[in-house]
Chain A
Amino acid sequence: MHSDFRRTISDERQLVYDAEHGAVDRMWPTTIGDAISATTVPASGATTSALDSASSIVSAYFARLLSVLEDHAEQLSREIIFQGREGLTATRIDDLVEPHANELLDYASEPIYGAGFIATVDLLADAPSHLAWWQGADRRKLVFPPRSVKQGIDYRELEWFRIPSLTGNSHVAGPYVDYLCSDEYTMTAAAPVLVDGNFVGVAGLDVLIETIERRLTPPLRALGFPVLLVNGVNRVLVSTDPRLSPGDVLRHQPVLDRRRCDAVDLEIVVLH
């Protein structure tokens, strides 16, 4: 991927986000709210426009997070190239990653719970696999005791590592109970780090479901329709429908309509 191209995408995402947030703060309660209060039975046109609005709110939210993360992934990739891939050690990678992790954790717009880089299995000279990860209020570096349950986990199988490694694209994984890192109910955004076209690991950040709920519930509530935000396996991230809560999975509930989000593999669902 060419960096200028990426820059353009990032800027566009930023603009979309800013536009949406202006809209969230000022427009939804008036225009959409009035449209809905005018009729007690939701007309299908109103459902459609609420779904579109919900989808752009969610897309903008994740697009902004991903663009920040992708910028760091790209910088990190340049630093690894500058440093030289040969003889790269765990300590050296930690030194390269830590400033990026700190910057992500400093991200003002949204509380980020954890951030860092996870190396592919054969990247480092002195370790078969490595997580350079900082998390929590005190930004503690993650260290696993050897042979603990956590140490034994093959993260190549985990969604946030597997999908960027296979597709070469960023991915937002979860929600899931992240017993590897945070021990919290989390979404993980991950961007591939490429060196000379080869995948060398993912740059990632964790956002707690609680954080996302706090951010997305008010604008989604303001749509006036109960909606669900679900992931690829129909698991609920955020819900303004009292019948389902975060963590529940859509199974037999009758779906009225659904809409994909642009920047991220998530969907908005409205139930009957």
Chain B
Amino acid sequence: MFLPIGDAGRAELVERRIAEAIMGGHLRAGDRLPSEADLAHTMGVAPVTVREALLGLRSRGLVVTRRGRNGGSFVSAEADPLVFAREALVASSRFAIRDLGVHYAALTMAGTRLAARRAALSEVAAIRIRLAKLDTAVGQKPGASELSAWRQTMDDLQLELVALSQSARLTRDQMRLQAEFSPLLRLIDVDAGTRSRHRELFGSVLDAVEAGDEDAAGAATERLVGDAIDALDALRLQADDF
């Protein structure tokens, strides 16, 4: 246990971080990655570690490298967050999905309960305004980029609400868990009924936070996360039918 950790394993960490950004849709097909030097600098590792990570990403088909004047590393044209999410869902056991849901619900409930005690009305109102804008932003037949923007806004509003707990630790954990959970949510976002239900449920979380009602805020959050998990679990069950 007292052996030096060194740079071994760091390349895998860098690779995982970038792979997660691609699979989660934060880096999209065709996006240019920062230069090796910039990546090394911002991620606090040696350039050789970044090079090794990029090698791994290339061999997995997530990244392509082009030479020449406009060269560099780019997210592969085939990278589709929905395909990655479906693969991740099928590769997970139902137990793991339910357990992720339990974890996410527990954390988010703690955050929104505390927000109900500590949020200012103006702060809740600001979230509500952005939620209202989201209503009109999604049409009847949204394309991939509209759906992606919808998910990003929902994630952002949820994070903002948890941040109103005034707890830095809860907010950091929410960000980490959201990065894991959010790619899967894209699979159920395609259903218009699910989207409108989730918008409504999130609205009732806001109502409870605004009223300063901790118990109602916790209960509404549990309904929102529970609904998402049920939908994901149903998708997972269907996947076994093929």
Contact = CB atoms under 8 A, between A and B. Distances in A.
A246 B163 CA distance: 14
26 contacts: A138-B44, A140-B44, A141-B42, A145-B27, A146-B26, A146-B31, A147-B148, A147-B152, A149-B155, A149-B159, A152-B152, A157-B126, A177-B163, A177-B168, A183-B171, A183-B175, A185-B166, A185-B168, A233-B122, A234-B120, A235-B120, A246-B166, A247-B166, A247-B167, A249-B118, A249-B120
A272 interface: no
Contacts of B183: none
Given A140-B42, A247-B166, A235 B118 contact: yes
A193 B122 CA distance: 27
- Most interface-central of B28, B118, B178 (chain A CB within 10 A): B118
A141 B34 CA distance: 14
A181 to B, nearest CB: 12
Contacts of B180: none
Contacts of A248: 117-118, 166
Interface in A125-152: 138, 140-141, 143, 145-149, 151-152
A252 to B, nearest CB: 10
B161 to A, nearest CB: 11
Contact of A179 (B41, B117, B171): B171
A251 interface: yes
B135 interface: no
B25 interface: yes
B156 interface: yes
B129 to A, nearest CB: 9
B38 interface: yes
B230 interface: no
Contacts of A149: 152, 155-156, 159, 175, 178
A184 to B, nearest CB: 5
A151 B159 CA distance: 14
Contacts of A179: 159, 163, 171-172, 175
Contacts of B178: 149
A176 interface: yes
Contacts of A184: 168
Contacts of B123: 233
A175 interface: yes
Contacts of B152: 147, 149, 152
A143 B26 CA distance: 14
B218 interface: no
Interface string A231-272: 001110000000000111101000000000000000000000
Interface of B: 21, 25-28, 31, 34, 38, 41-42, 44, 117-120, 122-123, 126, 148, 152-153, 155-156, 159, 163, 165-168, 171-172, 175, 178, 212
Given A146-B26, A157-B126, 13 more contacts: A138-B44, A143-B42, A145-B27, A149-B175, A152-B152, A153-B156, A176-B166, A177-B167, A183-B168, A183-B171, A235-B118, A249-B120, A251-B212
Given A177-B168, A235-B118, A249-B117, A146 B163 contact: no
Closest 5 CB pairs of A and B: A247-B166, A233-B120, A177-B163, A143-B42, A177-B171
A145 B166 contact: no
A177 B159 CA distance: 10
A235 B171 contact: no
Contact of A145 (B26, B41, B163): B26
A235 B165 CA distance: 12
A151 B31 CA distance: 14
Given A145-B27, A148-B21, A149-B156, A176 B163 contact: yes
Nearest to B120: A233
Contacts of B26: 145-148, 151
Interface string A103-135: 000000000000000000000000000000000
Interface string A206-239: 0000000000000000000000000001110000
Contacts of B156: 149, 152-153
Nearest to B123: A233
Contacts of B155: 149
